[in-house]
Amino acid sequence: MNYIGEISAIATAFCWSVTSYAFTSATRRVGALQVNIDRMILASLMLFFIVLIFDFSLTLTFNQISNLVISAILGLVLGDSFLFKSFQLIGARLGIVLMALVPVFSTLLAYFFLNEVIVYLGLLGMILTIAGILAVVLEKKNTEKNNFAFNKLGIFYGFLGALGQASGLIFAKFAFEGGSLNGFSASFIRLFSASLIIFPLALAFGRYKNPIRIYHQNRIATKAIVIGTFFGPVLGITLSLIAIEYTKVGIASTLMATMPVIMLPISRFYFKEKFGWKAIMGAMAAVIGAAIIFMR
């Protein structure tokens, strides 16, 4: 059986695990909005040269371009913006819990708009994987202080962020169904479109600063954003698009959501963090769930 989609989804989670550490480091030094815009612009440039060097086709139909632009607006502009706002109000831990809704929303939307039906074994694997992810994320509540109160608006933003990202995947799938399309070309169009929207808005509201001056003064942030951009918007988004091209959207988004589980060994061996039995059991459940998805 061809597992290109599932393997690409797991690889996406690995890439996003690396980029989360890199962007966390950069955000602490130059700010979240600055990093969000700079990563999109830098990724657009990287992808443009990749497409140019490897001679990937940018000849797309109007419907494909339209779907990718809508996907960028829903997933990258609105989805990520609501996600960052949710993190600000309720904290990253609870925000990540809400993002576990992305596979749920993706599956429901794919059922109604793409006629994608997942067999019972696949649904079992998805449930086990999502449950494992939640166990890993929530286990930290006993060992870390959460200074964020329960905020209804933050929860609402988290729901909107998850819905935005799920909707973005659906429209990206529409683009792939519209004809032959390379993943790197699709990523370039999505990120370039998002940059054209968010960059002028940030300038108009005076929220964007001169990146040359900022990164010249902070070399650590420069290295972090380059690494984060390569593994995140460039490789990560491209692999996520390849994943939804070759497998069902719900399955792909579930496997991509395993990032918190993949981050466990990095946190344990590199950052020397300790985890309780709930996190370990959650990781095992997520791995078993992912294995069931592959065997479905």
The residues, ordered by sequence, that sit 6+ positions from 31 with a Cβ below 8 Å of its Cβ are none
d(Cα 139, Cα 252) in Å, to the nearest integer? Answer: 25
Give percent of the chain with pLDDT exceeding 90: 50
**Separation of CA 115 from chain center:** 24
Largest CA distance in the chain: 55
pLDDT in the model for residue 147:
47
Q: Report pLDDT for 150.
A: 59
- What does the alpha-carbon distance between residue 257 and residue 248 come to, in Å, rounded to a whole number? 14
Measured distance CA(259)–CA(57) in Å, rounded: 31
Q: Each residue of 108-119: pLDDT tens digit? A: 999 999 999 888
**Phi, psi torsion values for 55, nearest 5 degrees:** 55, 45
What local confidence, expressed as pLDDT, does residue 144 receive? 46
Alpha-helical regions (H) of the chain = 4-30, 32-53, 62-71, 80-90, 92-99, 101-113, 120-139, 152-177, 183-204, 211-217, 219-229, 237-246, 249-256, 259-269, 277-295
Model pLDDT for residues 40-74, shown as the tens digit of each residue: 999 999 999 999 999 999 999 999 999 999 999 99
Single out the residue of 216, 225, 285 nearest to residue 37, CA to CA: 225
Per-residue tokens: 190: 């999505």
Distance CA 15, CA 233 (A): 9
pLDDT at 29 (0 to 100): 87
Q: Provide the Cα torsion 179, 185, 186, 187; round to 10°.
A: 170
Residue 142 has pLDDT above 50, yes or no: no
Q: What integer pLDDT is reported at residue 56 of this predicted model?
A: 94
pLDDT digits (tens, 9 = 90+) for 212-264: 888 888 899 999 999 999 999 999 999 999 999 999 999 999 999 888 888 77
State the average pLDDT over residues 85-105: 79
Q: Which residue, 144, 123, 134, 170, is CA-closest to 257?
A: 134
**pLDDT value at position 151?**
75
